[in-house]
Amino acid sequence: MSNEKKPGTPKDSHYAKLRRAYRDQKSGGKPAHRPRPNIPPGEAAADGLLRLYGLHTVRAALDNPRRDIHRMLVTRNALERLEIAEGSLPFPVEIVEPRDIDKITGSDAVHQGVLIEAAPLKPKALSALGDTPLVLVLDQVTDPHNVGAIIRSAVAFGAGALITTSRHSAQESGVLAKSASGALEHIDMIEVRNLAEALGELHESGFQTIGLDSEGPAELEHTFSGERIALVLGAEGKGLRHKTRETVNALARLDMPGVIHSLNVSNAAAISLYAARKHLAGVKAK
């Protein structure tokens, strides 16, 4: 077979040479980097298990006695970073290459070389709330990235629980857990069927419920009262539902003097938690 190049093929065409030269120029004279192929996610884990991935997520899950883990896929590098001795875990551990996990999570997931298959955490009832002075309530927030980021902020600011509805809410998943960066294992997740009734129970337990609304009549920091606070946030776009707005003790807004007067729900949650924690610290100091 001849190795001679055929004239007129795309490889030898004038335009192909120009395209290569342009790519090389953009990359500083070096051959242009070819993007990593986009590998779609694999099938869901069997038996209702979740696939959780990422170093912080997996480390927190390993340290959580309530988390039932069935198996782990991990690279040798990730195993060292997790400071786990091979053969020391009470479930099967398979040493793999990063591409093996890519095939399961998809190549867009930042798995950092480790994935576990585990049972979901069982949500608690509102009656298990305990004596925490600060909780977050989500009114049909469905984006797992947002809910994961909210959980991370909630744990950072010492909220005792995240209350969600059993329907029309983000469910526990690998994406949510990765966004929470391990915080999912450190907060009570409470599910309720009827949010208005749950808010009523919070009122009976001494909570002031405050709904975040960009058109709220007062600034959040001027709305706080009492020793127990429940911050209520609605979904992106539609915000709080009408029934929720009618049920909370107060509606409040974040003071934003700039040209944009609303924030992503996870950012609003973080700012609100900070303000609530400052209020509660002041109450405690009196």
In 3D, which of 161, 143, 123, 124 has the Cα closest to residue 267?
A: 143
Does position 32 have pLDDT exceeding 80, yes or no?
Answer: no
Closest CA to 166 of 193, 135, 128, 134: 193
pLDDT at residue number 38: 64
Higher pLDDT residue, 236 or 164?
Answer: 164
Distance of alpha carbon 138 from the chain centroid: 14
Amino acid at 227: E
- The answer to whether residue 180 scores a pLDDT higher than 70 is yes
Q: Where residue 6 falls among pLDDT bands split at 50, 70, 90? A: very low
State the pLDDT at residue 86.
Answer: 83
Percent of the chain past pLDDT 70, that is, above it, reads: 85
Q: pLDDT per residue over 75-131, tens digit each?
A: 999 999 999 988 899 999 999 999 999 999 987 889 999 999 999 999 999 999 989
Domains of the chain: 50-118 (3.30.1330.30), 126-285 (3.40.1280.10)
CA distance 107 to 99: 8
How big is the CA angle at 10 (ends 6 and 14), to the nearest 5 degrees? 95
Tokens of 121: 């955490």
125: left (phi over 0), alpha (psi -120 to 50) or beta: beta
Residue 82 to residues 13, 34, 77, 99, 155, Cα–Cα distance (Å): 51, 31, 9, 19, 22
Q: Mean pLDDT lowest for which of 1-10, 21-30, 80-89?
A: 1-10
CA proximity to 267, closest of 192, 214, 205, 193: 214
Q: For tokens 């120009």, what's the residue?
A: 18
Calpha distance 252→234 (Å, rounded): 13
Q: Token digits for 50?
A: 């979740």
Predicted confidence (pLDDT) at residue 4 exceeds the cutoff of 60: no
Q: Which two tokens stand for residue 220?
A: 């959040």
Rounded Cα distance, 80 and 182, in Å: 18
In eight-state DSSP terms, residue 54 is: S
pLDDT of amino acid 35 = 53
**By the 8 A CB rule, do 176 and 147 touch?**
yes
Neighbour count for residue 63 (Cβ, 10 Å): 11
Span 189-207, average pLDDT: 97
Helical segments of the chain, H only: 14-26, 55-62, 76-81, 98-105, 144-156, 174-180, 195-204, 242-247, 265-285
pLDDT for 286 equals 74
